[in-house]
A and B are shown apart, each in its own frame.
Chain A
């Protein structure tokens, strides 16, 4: 396990990073395009592409925008509605791990944008059954979330004959430079199967687990034939807009009062705040399996955008990655398993080719070396570096998972 000399991604990254002669990773190399490409030209290209999808009738949908209560949904919708002037149908998949702030963000978003919204909420019994299976077999509690989020928009696109789906950032480009922004990569079933679902679509789970077709029917991708004949096309805005998640969120906070939440294992208060477990239990499993965490993602992002140095990043990684994940009890309760079983799974899925036990403590065989001296440790991230915003009154915050929340009519 090696590291990029510029950012903090390791070679154990599941999407693979390729290091060049100077040990700079493919992700950093592609990221440089943010500074070299003419982004005005790129945006013009986007305008050209969506032109043919703009329907002439006012009551018809021009495109589908998949959303959630966290991440880039506010920004994507803002671009689609306000800048590109398209009429989107928004769709969201209920992860069942919703936080109160996440529910509110999504509900306010719908009202503010005035968009029609479709939601897929799978029967909780089925979601639990699927998650228990993926947890035991893969050490993964997020399969149903990603499977649902990536398939529901495509199913609706087919059913309603709305061929264009607009996504935000392509993870492969964003993290490991899988493609150049100029490749203008589009959504493919192949990427979903291989990288989103680590090789296991619903059909594959049917073959290797006890799950039945009944349990997984919501997660089945439409046929190749249907996708081809209807011309379903998914594009990524980060190929046409210089992507900066932090700036974009801050714009959304000022414009639409997007709510933030302080997280345990990262300094970022904007991303994934709609989910109880993404930056907690799910991130912990990632750490065990691949030797890096969400904090590495966030630091690498900030290093590449030149807001922190690599050494500062290493300090932050070291500070956050060993923090106890929050909300574990809610998960155990929801899943109906005991702490003992979870501990067993932690041990099972820890990759011992990258971890080693020294003096009864687990350490990475090859770890990042902290160089920062103590005087620099203080005040790296000032309190106001990440804006805090909440719509909450003094009422008690609901702490557990929320399946459905109140809507807000403005």
Chain B
């Protein structure tokens, strides 16, 4: 399968933002327009994450993805089956569950059973604490006692279709993806793995694609230059990488 280039849109209180280490946020604008442009620039998939700590923007998701005709994953504060039902009805192809994957693993099973494995992504936020990869929940605010390996096992056993690994340390730094984190995670599972956090240059994508991710995710990166998705894909194709490109 081709490696997917995935655009992430982080939404804070209804505004698409740049996220820097889950801590600092810069306003980009209307999520609907960000999604429209990612689509028209040739993105393979879009992940929409509501990172607001208080409110849930579920009501607006169908409006946000109105002009998006590639697969969409929605995540951020999914608490129960009702939330999932609503999001799938609103047009989500997949849901990304993060905090509840640890607090309520039964929810994962219910989702994969009702909508199929391919509809469920388990999203894991990781920070390096004392040289150990530590899992965090609640938008990076709560340190979990469950290890990275354990949460991956839970994901596999609950029927998740994919895993999304976010590096909190690399987020918004533009210094490149955390290759070590990716390799560590890849050695723990056979599930399709998506990596996110740290994209700053097109060469970063070249480095990580060689390690075999299912999808490479970036958020801030795609907003900095005109038609950046196209330039990136052009570049990767010139290096004979297996990605989707339109004639």
Contacts and interface: CB of A to CB of B under 8 A. Distances in A.
Interface of A: 15-18, 20, 26, 29-30, 176-180, 182-190, 193-195, 199, 224, 227-228, 232-234
B27 A195 contact: no
B132 interface: no
A82 B25 CA distance: 38
B29 A16 contact: yes
B195 interface: no
B33 to A, nearest CB: 5
Nearest to B29: A194
Contact of A188 (B12, B17, B30, B225): B225
Given A18-B17, A185-B224, A224 B30 contact: no
Contact of A26 (B25, B29, B33): B25
Contacts of A30: 26
A15 B226 contact: no
A190 B27 contact: no
A15 B227 contact: no
Given A16-B15, A18-B15, A193-B33, A184 B26 contact: no
A106 to B, nearest CB: 28
Interface string B66-103: 00000000000000000000000000000000000000
- Mostly helix, strand, loop or mixed at chain B's interface? mixed
Interface of B: 12, 15, 17-18, 24-30, 33-34, 37, 40-41, 174, 220, 223-227, 230-231
A15 B34 CA distance: 14
A224 B227 contact: yes
A189 B36 CA distance: 12
A232 B29 contact: no
B224 A190 contact: no
B226 A227 contact: yes
Contacts of A183: 174, 220, 224
A321 B41 CA distance: 42
A105 B49 CA distance: 49
Contacts of A26: 25-27
Contacts of A227: 226-227
A266 to B, nearest CB: 25
A224 B26 contact: no
A26 B27 CA distance: 8
A85 B6 CA distance: 41
B73 to A, nearest CB: 22
10 contacts: A18-B12, A184-B224, A185-B225, A186-B224, A188-B225, A188-B226, A194-B30, A199-B30, A199-B33, A228-B230
Top 9 A-B residue pairs of the complex, sorted by shortest distance between their CB atoms: A16-B27, A190-B37, A186-B225, A188-B226, A194-B33, A16-B15, A194-B29, A18-B25, A26-B26
